[in-house]
Amino acid sequence: MFNNEGLMTRRVREGRLMENSQAEDKITNWVAPNDKSGEFKRGQSQFRNAIKKGGEFPPEKGRYLLYVSYACPWAHRALIVRQLKGLQDIIPYVSVHWNMQEKGWRFATASDDDAPGDSVAPDPLGHEYLRDIYFEVDPEYKGRFTVPTLFDKKTGRIVSNESAEIIRMMYTEVFPLLLFQIFGAGLETDGWQFDDLLEDKYKQVDLFPKELQKEIEETNTWTYDTINNGVYKSGFATTASAYESACTALFTSLSRVESHLSTQTSGPYYHGTHITEADVRLFTTMIRFDVVYVQHFKTNIRDVRSGYPYIHQWLRELYWNVPAFGETTQWEHIKRHYTRSHSQINPYGITPLGPEPPILGLGEEVPAVRFALERLGRK
């Protein structure tokens, strides 16, 4: 059985743990202490296989296990898409505990009572840490132990640990997609990966419609670099110049998003009437913005609720009106993970109380905005 760890594997793993704990490159050093640039440089995800009809990893009900953390914006993408595509019975998931320390993500135990939410549970395959799975799959593994991780129970292998690709597997063929990226051609598919297993209403959910593919890809490029990853580059920077450059780029891009949304009149979503991948990828960063990033990552030129009315409206529309977004958002995991796992940023691990509420209701505004609207006779 896959989870019967062999003695050799265990020895290799324990040896590696000792090496790692002595090494300079501890996993909680987000920027290497000797890196003078002070810039956070995100490594490449190492497992890049795909679920594909007729491939090594075919779509099958119950075969794959999705490891996530409710705290993590990259994993949150996968939870949202799983629900939007109605894959709940097809791809089960487990969320790790929010507290990530030297050995990386750990699974919750029966005695944890501070990590609410569905599926925050011991690993059904019996591991204590997420890293244990990576080392069982590859005792020589040298990358990071990240969520989301999509695991194949049948072969005991990791299919992918790259969220951008995991979400696409849930609704597209991967190979035509690569062709599309190389040649810029329209995406032809012979049906979505899991569609044969889905109810009709979910088959119709197309998060990457043909007519928007080019635009979505272009948006992804700058959104990833300056917003999704931009908050991390600001927050993990260890020099003022690295921080200032990331933070400036981030707010330039937020203005770009704000201006895009202000011209979007056909519907509440990033591309108007239908939810697309663009909404998913932006949402998971923006929902964490006011509650964590503004103070913890020092991305405080503005916050969303008082500084970006269009983003604020778009964000609340998704959170309150689309269950896949609201139901997968776990505030306790989000707030506690960042503030208590990043001791180089917050050595005392104190979690700020505010802002309260973590997200405003659809008709609510911060007092200054409400006051201004009342003055203008709009409320």
Ligand X SMILES: N[C@@H](CCC(=O)N[C@@H](CS)C(=O)NCC(=O)O)C(=O)O
The residues that touch ligand X, with contacts defined as CB under 6 A, are 27, 45, 72, 74, 104, 144-148, 161-164
The answer to whether residues 84 and 301 touch, using CB atoms and an 8 Å cutoff, is no
162 labeled part of a ligand binding site: yes
The answer to whether residues 268 and 274 touch, using CB atoms and an 8 Å cutoff, is no
Nearer to ligand X, 70 or 180 (CB): 70
Tokens 């062709």 -> residue: 179
222 labeled part of a ligand binding site: no
Nearer to ligand X, 195 or 332 (CB): 332
57 labeled part of a ligand binding site: no
Give the other-Cβ count within 10 Å of 279's Cβ.
23
For the bound state, the minimum distance from the C-beta of residue 164 to ligand X, rounded and expressed in Å, comes to 6
Buried b (16+ CB within 10 A) or exposed e, 192-215: bbbbebbeeebbebbbbeeebbee
256 labeled part of a ligand binding site: no
Nearer to ligand X, 53 or 103 (CB): 103
State the greatest distance between any 2 C-alpha atoms of the chain, in Å, as a whole number. 73
Tokens 């840490």 -> residue: 129
Give the other-Cβ count within 10 Å of 342's Cβ.
18
Q: E strands along the chain, which residues?
A: 64-68, 93-95, 149-152, 157-160
For the bound state, the minimum distance from the C-beta of residue 29 to ligand X, rounded and expressed in Å, comes to 10
Tokens 């239908």 -> residue: 274
144 labeled part of a ligand binding site: yes
Using alpha carbons only, how large is the chain's radius of gyration in Å? 21
For the bound state, the minimum distance from the C-beta of residue 297 to ligand X, rounded and expressed in Å, comes to 12
What's the rounded Cα separation, in Å, for the pair 346 and 172?
40
Residues with catalytic function: 72, 232
Nearer to ligand X, 100 or 247 (CB): 100
Question: Residue ranges for the binding site?
Answer: 105, 144-147, 162-163
Question: Residue ranges for the binding site for glutathione?
Answer: 105, 144-147, 162-163
